[in-house]
Structure 1
Amino acid sequence: MEPFQIIAVVLLVAVLAILIYNSFFKSEPKKEDDKSMLMLQQQLQELSKTMDSRLSQTSDKMYASLRDQSSQSQQLIQEVTKQMGEQLRDVVAKTTEVGEGSKKVFEVADQLKELQNILKNPKQRGVLGEYYLETVLNNVLPPESFKMQYGFPDGEIVDAAVFVKGKVIPIDSKFSLENYNRFAEAADGADKVAFEKAFVNDLKLRITETAKYIRPTEQTTDFAFMFIP
């Protein structure tokens, strides 16, 4: 209860006490009693007006305070809603980015799987090796200084030939993979040693195969290159 309300109640009780006292304990003439009663009524009316005014002011203040609090609450709710919306958009955007990243990972995985399938087939490995060889030559030499699938007069074909000062440098792509994979996957021990020897023998055979393209009488250099992708 507000302080002015407490004071008003106290005054009202005091006035009522005076009225009761005058009515029952004082034996003054009736005229004086009427005058006192009239004054008391006037005081009560004034007191009632004062209380009404105070209560009205208090109500106005209370309503104003409630309106302010409601406005602040609405602003707070709007701010929280806005922040939650922004955070949700960020989460959705990041989720989309993760989804795109996952898609790219799967694409790379598919490409690697396809490459593994290619490497299992010796003929396809040969085609892939020739492609890598051509890519390397294109990156370092002008087009007129080399030729892919260079043919000799007897019909023999080397994967590439580089032309330097009237000479032909033969380059053959070789891809010996089976024994190398066995060597790489084997545990330490006799098997690993055996697969290593087999891989070295494969390389020696590929070198011998490449050597057949050394033909000085046909303007080749006295050496040839073996390209290992």
Structure 2
Amino acid sequence: MQTVLFVLSGYPVTALEASVAGGLFLLLLIAWLVLGSRRQLRIRAEAETAATERIHELESHLATLLKSQGEMTGRMQTMAEVFGSRQSDMMRAVNDRLDGMGHKLGISMADTTKQTHEGLRQLHERLAVIDRAQRTITDLSGQVVELQTILSNKQTRGAFGQGRMEAIIQDQLPPSGYSFQATLSTGSRPDCLVHMPNGAPSLAIDAKFPLEAFNLLRHAKSDDQLKQAQAQFRRDFTKHIQDIREKYLLPGETQDTAFLFVPSESVFAELNEGFEDQVQKAHRSRVVIVSPSLLMLSIQVIQAVLRDARMREQAHLIQAEVAHLTADVGRLNDRVLKLQSHFGQANKDIDQILISTDKIAKRSQKIEDLDLGEIPGEAATAEALPSEH
């Protein structure tokens, strides 16, 4: 047993020491194992206790959660019911609003459709008016072209001026107050002679205005053409004024003034603006240039003169009629005075009649006031009274 088994740090270890050390080590190992198992059991027990407590806590939490879930479920059901009722109310309100909006929209669409139809109807009417106006403009354009064609021809232009002049005179004067294309003693034939009253000479009117050179003025494109057209117009106009003075101004047969009729107001205006010297020359030659409006005014003045002359011719007849009218008024005055006297006498008679009727009424009242049964003496007294007249 004293046998040295090994040397540990310079100390010889025997078998006995080694066996004792091994037993101690085994006891320590067993004790450690026992302690470890107890520790594990305690830890396991503690873990089981903790797990049990945890399970109880979890169960309590789960119960709380279930309770909360139930409450939440109830609240959710309540909210669902509230939301359902509110949703139904909202749906009803939305449906009502949609119905109202649909009704309003229908009414608005109907009004819009009505207004659209009315606008289309008015548009069609205006289009019809525009069509008629366009047709009128087309007709007027044709008439203007026709008028231009007429004015481009000398003969047709003279007929046009003659026609306008005749229309103005025929509208203003009686048939006995004028003559168209009458022949003078010299063989000349003015376009119109207006007969003046009291045997006065007639007024000659010429309707042949020299328009060829005037048209050249309008169509001139250069200064040279304009000067040539002006010179041509002055020559033609001067020649025509001389012809009127020589042919139509006849002492004792026609007036010492003649009219030159211009059938266009625009031509008359341009003539007075651009050729005032020619107009003055015509006036010095006792030729008056007249437009349609001036001719109408002159004819109205002549008509007033004729009317005054006719009134002067009938003045003695008017005076005789006025004398007869004065005599008739005098006789009417006498008869009215007689009638007034008759009415006065009748009024007097009526006054007398009223006096008599008043007396009769008073006597009737007195008779009604009498009581013959109780007071006989009053009847005798009434009989004794004198009667009134």
So what's the TM-score if we normalise by structure 2?
Answer: 0.42
SS of residue matched to 1:175: coil
1:185 positional shift: 2.1
Query: Could you tell which deviates more after superposition, 102-111 or 87-96?
Result: 87-96
**1:41-190 alignment to 2 at 5 Å?**
54=85, 58=89, 63-153=95-185, 155-164=187-196, 165-166=198-199, 167-187=201-221, 189-190=223-224
The number of residue pairs the alignment matches comes to 190
Cα distance in 2 for partners of 1:215, 1:227 equals 19
Equivalent of residue 194 in structure 1, options 198, 219, 228 = 228
1:86 positional shift: 2.3
Cα distance in 2 for partners of 1:17, 1:162 equals 121
Q: Any idea what the Cα deviations from partners look like across 1:127-176, whole Å, max 9, x if unmatched? A: 11111222232344443222111123565422111122421222222121
Root mean square deviation, CA, Å: 3.4
Q: Call closer, same or farther: CA 1:197–1:71 in 2, change over 3 Å.
A: same
Q: Call closer, same or farther: CA 1:198–1:56 in 2, change over 3 Å.
A: closer
- The question of whether the paired residues in 2 share the 8 Å contact of 1:118 and 1:124 is answered with yes
Equivalent of residue 249 in structure 2, options 189, 214, 221 = 214
- The question of whether the paired residues in 2 share the 8 Å contact of 1:149 and 1:160 is answered with yes
- The question of whether the paired residues in 1 share the 8 Å contact of 2:195 and 2:203 is answered with yes
Larger RCO (CA within 8 A; separation ≥ 6): 1
Q: Call closer, same or farther: CA 1:130–1:56 in 2, change over 3 Å.
A: closer
Residue 37 (structure 1) aligns with:
none
Residue 6 (structure 1) aligns with:
none
- The question of whether the paired residues in 2 share the 8 Å contact of 1:125 and 1:175 is answered with no
1:199 positional shift: 0.8
Cα distance in 2 for partners of 1:93, 1:63 equals 43
Cα distance in 2 for partners of 1:199, 1:118 equals 20
SS of residue matched to 1:73: helix
1:111 positional shift: 0.9
Q: Call closer, same or farther: CA 1:127–1:95 in 2, change over 3 Å.
A: same
Larger Rg over CA atoms: 2
* Stretches of structure 2 lacking an aligned partner (at least 5 in a row): 1-68, 264-389
Residue 14 (structure 1) aligns with:
70
Q: Any idea what the Cα deviations from partners look like across 1:41-96, whole Å, max 9, x if unmatched? A: xxx9xx8xx78x94896465554444333323322322222222222223222222
1:122 positional shift: 0.9
Equivalent of residue 224 in structure 1, options 247, 258, 264 = 258
SS of residue matched to 2:181: strand
Cα distance in 2 for partners of 1:67, 1:215 equals 98
Identical columns (%): 25
Residue 28 (structure 1) aligns with:
none
So what's the TM-score if we normalise by structure 1?
Answer: 0.67
1:100 positional shift: 2.0
SS of residue matched to 2:191: strand
* Stretches of structure 1 lacking an aligned partner (at least 5 in a row): 1-12, 19-43
SS of residue matched to 1:151: coil
